[in-house]
Amino acid sequence: MYKSKYIKYKNKYLLSKEADISHPITAPYDKGMLNVGDNHQLYYEQIGNPNGIPIVVIHGGPGGGISPKYSTFYDCSKIRLIGYDQRGCGKSIPFGSLEHNTTWDLIEDIEKLRKHLKIEKWNVTGGSWGSTLSLLYGIYHADKILGMIISGVCLLRQIDIDWLYKKGGASQMYPEEWDKFELFIPENERSDLVKAYYERLCSDNEEVRNAACLHWSEWEIKLSFFHEKNSTKEKLKPVLTDLKKIIPLAKIECHYFLNKAFLPSDNYIIENIQKIKDIPLIINQARYDVICPVDSAYRVKKALPNTILRIGPLGGHSRAEQPNINFMVNSVKDLLSSFL
């Protein structure tokens, strides 16, 4: 088993003009479906070296899925990389299901996957909603984690939900897009836009579902990118027109936000974060992440002073943009250097 030690390194800002240092896409050497109960089966895959350092990737959302390019952050010749789709997501079945789909189900699914793959301990990486699940998994299963890298930190407090879905937060940065998002809902329902959208996303009326999904998704996607060229309608049109995929995903996300991620208290993660104080933790955070503002990453750093917090000066929420790509590649390299 790998012996972990804490690594410190210089905080080097990586600007978008720098060369992309990501790795080639690597195809899986193993794929499967894991029955986790409650009528849910999770799709998972393994990439790279079967004898390498194990890393599990926890994707974002809620309601997302593993990206076809997620392996590019890792040197797969040295790593046993595990990716999987959470309940209702991606290739997992039943697709889009909200039944038995809570944060606590997802946390225990991670453990079931670890046991299924016969891994004693592994490294955990996750961005956005993936950072939320990574931190919660660590709080409940710290003894199974070698190290952790998270990005776009999301604590899912009420203030974080309100920032996105109440006027006065992100609406101040994208007022035109906010108007489109808010005006879709009748004025008498705008005090709780999450609830209003949820009712429409779950409507029996296909036309209502489709319209709600497009407005919900356009608002979020617009906020995801730092570079304007990446958030243009032309580039996003193929994504937004695949309604069979994005309606269930919008519904899952809305389901989690409506239920405040099923957490027992508003600041649950910070209240319990000392349980992961001995886990080496690196945070990659973009200064201009509009979806998950830097304050959340700072709160984790403040609670865990030994955490390495790297703030990129020219990045947004999406990890598919520079400098976020290079940040992640270098962070993986630094975290794993003690094992190689």
User: Which residue would you say has higher pLDDT here, 82 or 10?
Assistant: 82
Residues 6+ positions from 288 with CB-CB distance below 8 Å? 226, 314, 315, 316
Predicted local distance difference test score (pLDDT) of residue 3: 41
337 is catalytic: no
* Percent of residues, the chain, with pLDDT higher than 90: 69
Count helices and strands (H / E) in the chain: 11, 8
Predicted local distance difference test score (pLDDT) of residue 20: 74
Res. 294: pLDDT tops 50: yes
Residues 6+ positions from 27 with CB-CB distance below 8 Å? 47
Angular region, 264: left φ>0, alpha ψ -120 to 50, beta rest: alpha
Predicted local distance difference test score (pLDDT) of residue 207: 93
Tens digits of residue pLDDT in 199-214: 999 999 999 999 999 9
94 upstream amide cis, omega within 30 of 0: yes
Summarize the confidence of residues 269-289 as an average pLDDT. 94
Predicted local distance difference test score (pLDDT) of residue 10: 40
Res. 131: pLDDT tops 70: yes
> Hey, what are 289's tokens?
């992440």
Of 37-41, 277-281, 336-340, the least confident = 336-340
Which residue is catalytic, options 4, 71, 92, 128?
Answer: 128
Residues 6+ positions from 246 with CB-CB distance below 8 Å? 213, 217, 239, 240
Using DSSP bridges, classify how beta strands 79-84 and 40-48 pair: parallel, antiparallel or unpaired.
Answer: antiparallel
pLDDT confidence of 191, banded at 50, 70, 90? very high
Predicted local distance difference test score (pLDDT) of residue 73: 86
What stretches of the chain adopt beta strand conformation (E)? 28-37, 40-48, 53-58, 79-84, 122-127, 145-151, 281-286, 308-312
Whether residue 300 contacts residue 283, with contact meaning beta carbons closer than 8 Å, is answered with yes
Q: Is the pTM value of this prediction over 0.75?
A: yes
266 is catalytic: no
Which residue is catalytic, options 289, 318, 331, 334?
Answer: 289
Specify the amino acid at residue 71.
S
pLDDT confidence of 325, banded at 50, 70, 90? confident
Task: Name the H helices within 43-157.
Answer: 103-116, 129-141
Whether residue 284 contacts residue 310, with contact meaning beta carbons closer than 8 Å, is answered with yes
The residue to which tokens 């809570």 are assigned: 102
CA–CA dist 206, 221 (Å, integer) = 22
CA–CA dist 156, 319 (Å, integer) = 19
Which residue is catalytic, options 40, 215, 255, 317?
Answer: 317
The angle, 0 to 180 degrees and rounded to 10, between the axes of the packed helices 175-183 and 206-224 is: 160
Angular region, 105: left φ>0, alpha ψ -120 to 50, beta rest: alpha
Q: What is the DSSP string of 107-129?
A: HHHHHHHHHHTT-SSEEEEEETH
278 is catalytic: no
Res. 6: pLDDT tops 80: no
The angle, 0 to 180 degrees and rounded to 10, between the axes of the packed helices 193-201 and 158-165 is: 70
Whether residue 50 contacts residue 118, with contact meaning beta carbons closer than 8 Å, is answered with no
What the chain holds in terms of domains, given with CATH numbers, is 28-156+263-336 (3.40.50.1820), 158-262 (no CATH)
Q: What is the DSSP string of 27-49?
A: -EEEEEEEEEETTEEEEEEEEE-
Whether residue 298 contacts residue 138, with contact meaning beta carbons closer than 8 Å, is answered with no
